[in-house]
Amino acid sequence: MAKPDNRADNVEHLQQNIQNTLQNLHEAEGYLNEFSSEISNEERKQIEEKNNRRKQSIRSFREEVKDEAAHSQE
The overall average pLDDT reported for the chain is 91
Is residue 52, in this structure, part of any structural domain at all? yes
Q: Which amino acid is at 68?
A: E
Average confidence (pLDDT) over 37-60: 97
pLDDT score of 60: 97
Is residue 6, in this structure, part of any structural domain at all? no
Is residue 49, in this structure, part of any structural domain at all? yes
54 is in which domain, residue-wise?
42-73
Q: pLDDT tier at 39 (50, 70, 90 boundaries)?
A: very high
For the chain, the domain total comes to 1
Q: pLDDT tier at 9 (50, 70, 90 boundaries)?
A: confident
Is residue 24, in this structure, part of any structural domain at all? no
Is residue 68, in this structure, part of any structural domain at all? yes
The predicted model scores a pTM of: 0.83
Q: Tell me the three state secondary structure of residue 64.
A: helix
Give the DSSP letter of residue 73. T
Q: Per-residue pLDDT for 68 more than 90?
A: no
Give the DSSP letter of residue 56. H
